[in-house]
Amino acid sequence: MELWDLYDENRKPLNRTKPRGAILEPGEHHYVVHVCLFNSKGELLIQKRQPFKKGWPGLWDVSVGGSVLAGETSREAAIRETMEEIGLAIDLKQIRPHFTVNFDVGFDDFYILERDVELTSLMLQEEEVQAIQWASLDDVIIMIDKGDFIPYYTGLIHFLFENRKAYGAIRG
């Protein structure tokens, strides 16, 4: 059984855990991570979720995503999830999340990396990932509009593509 560490709204540990999928009480939050891999052509690696996966079955998603487990940091979870889901070892020693999206019961840290990865070199986690491919910004927006992609706000997708090479909100 997977456990989540719980945090307050200020990201301070509550020194309690709950099993994955448990209903969180008001004031309890957990961490989620997403890793967005771009190639040098500016394409995003996307993954198609298995049709039997709970939550957004059969839809396309960004490269990697998952919950931070009890005892892990956001960075450690991003490394673990990337290895588990697509079989890619990544080094995040000098990399912080590019941004965090708050949601009702937690915090979602987004890591953005540029790597030219040969798709045939990746090992997909059979329990979660059905397929992978490179996609342009236009491809992803069309997929969202058609209902084939998790219905992220398109502004978030534009932000990912625009900020893939820099931190912050101001052009440098």
Report CA 4 to chain centroid distance, whole Å: 16
What's residue 67's pLDDT? 96
CATH code for the domain defined by 32-162: 3.90.79.10
Q: How far apart are the C-alpha atoms of 65 and 33, rounded to whole Å?
A: 6
pLDDT in tens, 79-125: 999 999 999 999 999 899 999 999 999 999 999 999 999 999 999 99
What's residue 166's pLDDT? 87
What's residue 51's pLDDT? 97
What's residue 117's pLDDT? 96
Residue 137 near residue 158 (C-beta atoms within 8 A)? yes
Q: Tell me which residues of the chain have a pLDDT lower than 70.
A: none
Do you know the residue count of the chain?
172
Residue whose structure tokens are 């719980």? 6
Enter the pTM of the model: 0.95
Q: What are the residue ranges spanned by the domains of the chain? A: 32-162
Residue 6 near residue 13 (C-beta atoms within 8 A)? yes
What's residue 68's pLDDT? 98
For residue 29, list its beta bridge partners: 7
What's residue 170's pLDDT? 86
